[in-house]
Amino acid sequence: MSKMHVKLKVNGRQVEGLAEPRMLLVHFLREELGITGPHIGCETSHCGACTVDMDGRSVKSCTVFVAQANGAEIVTVEGLTNPDGSLGVIQEKFREHHGLQCGFCTPGMITRAHRLLQENPNPTEEEVRFGIAGNLCRCTGYQNIVKAIMAAAAELNAAKEAAQ
Amino acid sequence: MTDQTMTPEERAASLEGMGCRRKRVEDVRFTQGKGNYVDDVKLPGMLFGAFVRSPYAHARVKSIDAEAAKALPGVVAVLTAADLAPLGLHWMPTLAGDKQMVLADGKVLFQGQEVAFVVAEDRYLAADAVELVEVEYEELPVVTDPFKALEPDAPVLREDIKDQKEGAHGPRRHHNHIFTWEQGDRDATEKVLAEADVTVEEMIHYHRTHPCPLETCGCVASMDKATGKLTVWGTFQAPHAIRTVVSLISGIAEHNIRIISPDIGGGFGNKVGAYPGYVCSVVASIVTGRPVKWIENRMENLMSTAFARDYWMKGRIAATKDGRITGLWCHVTADHGGFDACADPTKFPAGFFNICTGSYDIPTAYLCVDGVYTNKAPGGVAYRCSFRVTEAAYFIERMVELLAIELNMDAAELRRINFIRKEQFPYASALGWEYDSGDYHTAWDKALKAVDYEGLRREQARRIEDFKAGRTRKLLGIGLSHFTEIVGAGPVKNCDILGLGMFDSCEIRIHPTGSAIARLGTISQGQGHATTFAQILASELGIPASDITVEEGDTDTAPYGLGTYGSRSTPVAGAATAMAARKIRAKAQMIAAWLLEVHDDDLEWDVDRFVVKGAPERFKTMKEIAFAAYNQAIPGLEPGLEAVSYYDPPNMTYPFGAYVCVMEIDVDTGEWKVRQFYALDDCGTRINPMIIEGQVHGGLTEALAIAMGQEIAYDEMGNVKTGTLMDFFIPTAWETPNYVTDHTVTPSPHHPIGAKGVGESPNVGGVPAFSNAVHDAFRAFGLRQAHMPHDHWRIWRIAENLGLHG
Amino acid sequence: MIPAGFEYHRPTDVASAVAILGRHGDEARVLAGGHSLIPMMKLRMAAPAHLVDLRGIAELGRIEIGDDAVVIGAMVAQHDLIAHEGLAQALPIIREAALQIADPQVRSMGTIGGNLANGDPGNDMPGLMQCLDARFALVGPGGEREVAAREFYESAYFTAREDDEILTRVIVPRPPAGAGWAYEKIKRKIGDYATAAAAVMLGEGFASVAMTNLADTPVWCEAAGRALAAGDVEGCVAAMLEAIDPAEDNRGPVAFKKHAAAAALRRAIARAQARRA
| Shared-domain flag, residues B643 and B660 | no
Other C-beta atoms lying within 10 Å of the C-beta of residue B139: 12
| Shared-domain flag, residues B256 and B127 | yes
Any chains having at least 3 CB pairs less than 8 A from chain A are B, C
| Shared-domain flag, residues C113 and C161 | yes
Domain end: C134, C152, C173, which one?
A: C173
- Contact criterion met (CB < 8 Å) for C263 and B796: no
| Shared-domain flag, residues C215 and C146 | no
| Shared-domain flag, residues B383 and B405 | yes
Q: Is residue B387 part of a domain?
A: yes
Q: What is the pLDDT of residue A164?
A: 86
Q: Is residue C1 part of a domain?
A: no
**Helix (H), strand (E) at residue B373:** strand B364-373
Q: Is residue B1 part of a domain?
A: no
Parent domain of C239: 180-274
| Shared-domain flag, residues B440 and B464 | yes
- Contact criterion met (CB < 8 Å) for B214 and A47: yes
Of the residues B298, B792, B801, the best mutation for testing chain C's interface (the one with the most C CB atoms within 10 Å of its CB) is B792
Q: Is residue C234 part of a domain?
A: yes
- State the first-to-last Cα distance of chain A, in angstroms, to the nearest integer: 54
Q: Is residue C162 part of a domain?
A: yes
3-state secondary structure C14-49: HHHHHHHHHHHHHHEEEECCCCCHHHHHHCCCCCCC
Any idea where the domains of chain A sit in the sequence?
Answer: 4-79, 81-163
Contacts of C35 in chain A (CB under 8 A): 45, 63
Q: Is residue B165 part of a domain?
A: no
pLDDT band at C261 (very low <50, low <70, confident <90, very high): very high
Q: Does C31 touch chain A (CB under 8 A)?
A: yes
| Shared-domain flag, residues C106 and C191 | no
Domain end: B647, B682, B715, which one?
A: B647
CATH label of the domain that carries residue C29: 3.30.43.10
How much is the average pLDDT of A129-149?
98
Residues of chain B with pLDDT under 70: 1-4
- Search chain A and give the residue with CA nearest B36: A36
The predicted-structure confidence for B17-38, as pLDDT tens digits, reads as follows 999 999 999 999 999 999 999 9
| Shared-domain flag, residues C236 and C164 | no
| Shared-domain flag, residues B588 and B671 | no
Q: Is residue C158 part of a domain?
A: yes
Architecture of domain A4-79: Roll (3.10)
Q: Is residue C223 part of a domain?
A: yes
Please tell me the total count of domains within chain B: 3
Domain end: C38, C53, C68, which one?
A: C53
Architecture of domain A81-163: Orthogonal Bundle (1.10)
Please tell me the total count of domains within chain C: 3
Of the residues B131, B214, B217, B740, the best mutation for testing chain A's interface (the one with the most A CB atoms within 10 Å of its CB) is B214
Closest alpha carbon to B611 in B144, B8, B91, B71: B8
C-alpha distances in Å from residue B744, one per residue of B295, B439, B459, B655, B756: 42, 9, 28, 11, 12
Q: What is the pLDDT of residue B110?
A: 98
Q: What is the pLDDT of residue B1?
A: 42
The predicted-structure confidence for C46-94, as pLDDT tens digits, reads as follows 999 999 999 999 999 999 999 999 999 999 999 999 999 999 999 999 9
Parent domain of B587: 8-35+504-647
CATH label of the domain that carries residue C162: 3.30.465.10
| Shared-domain flag, residues B511 and B631 | yes
| Shared-domain flag, residues B705 and B625 | no
Domain end: B604, B626, B647, which one?
A: B647
CATH label of the domain that carries residue B278: 3.90.1170.50
| Shared-domain flag, residues B258 and B383 | no
**Beta pairing, strands B474-484 & B656-666:** antiparallel
Q: Does A18 touch chain C (CB under 8 A)?
A: no
- Tell me the percentage of chain B whose pLDDT exceeds 90: 94
| Shared-domain flag, residues C111 and C184 | no
Contacts of B712 in chain C (CB under 8 A): none
> CA A46 to CA A28: how far, in whole Å?
20
**Helix (H), strand (E) at residue B741:** strand B740-743
- Contact criterion met (CB < 8 Å) for B729 and C190: no
Q: Is residue B156 part of a domain?
A: no
Q: Is residue C160 part of a domain?
A: yes
Q: Is residue C62 part of a domain?
A: yes
Contacts of B731 in chain C (CB under 8 A): 189
Residue in A4, A44, A57 closest to C79 by CB: A57
Residues of B serving a catalytic function are 237, 384-385, 760
pLDDT band at A1 (very low <50, low <70, confident <90, very high): low
| Complex prediction ipTM | 0.98
| Shared-domain flag, residues B345 and B410 | yes
Q: A5, exposed or middle or buried, with CB in 10 Å at 0-12, 13-18, 19+? A: exposed
How much is the average pLDDT of C235-244?
98
Q: In what side-by-side order are the strands of the sheet with B229-234?
A: B75-79, B114-120, B47-53, B292-295, B218-224, B229-234, B257-260
CATH label of the domain that carries residue B573: 3.30.365.10
Angle at B283 between CA B279 and CA B284, to 5 degrees: 115
**Beta pairing, strands C50-53 & C69-73:** unpaired
| Shared-domain flag, residues B291 and B315 | no
- Contact criterion met (CB < 8 Å) for C190 and A133: yes
Residue B172 in 3-state DSSP? coil
Domain end: B647, B675, B698, which one?
A: B647
Q: Does C40 touch chain B (CB under 8 A)?
A: no
> CA B505 to CA B559: how far, in whole Å?
6
Q: What is the pLDDT of residue B65?
A: 98
| Shared-domain flag, residues B626 and B670 | no
CATH label of the domain that carries residue C215: 3.30.390.50
Q: Is residue B658 part of a domain?
A: yes
| Shared-domain flag, residues B293 and B325 | no
Residue in A87, A104, A141 closest to B701 by CB: A141
Q: Is residue C2 part of a domain?
A: no
How much is the average pLDDT of A118-132?
98
> CA B783 to CA B795: how far, in whole Å?
11
**Looking only at Cα atoms, what is the longest distance across chain B?**
90
Domain end: C125, C142, C173, which one?
A: C173
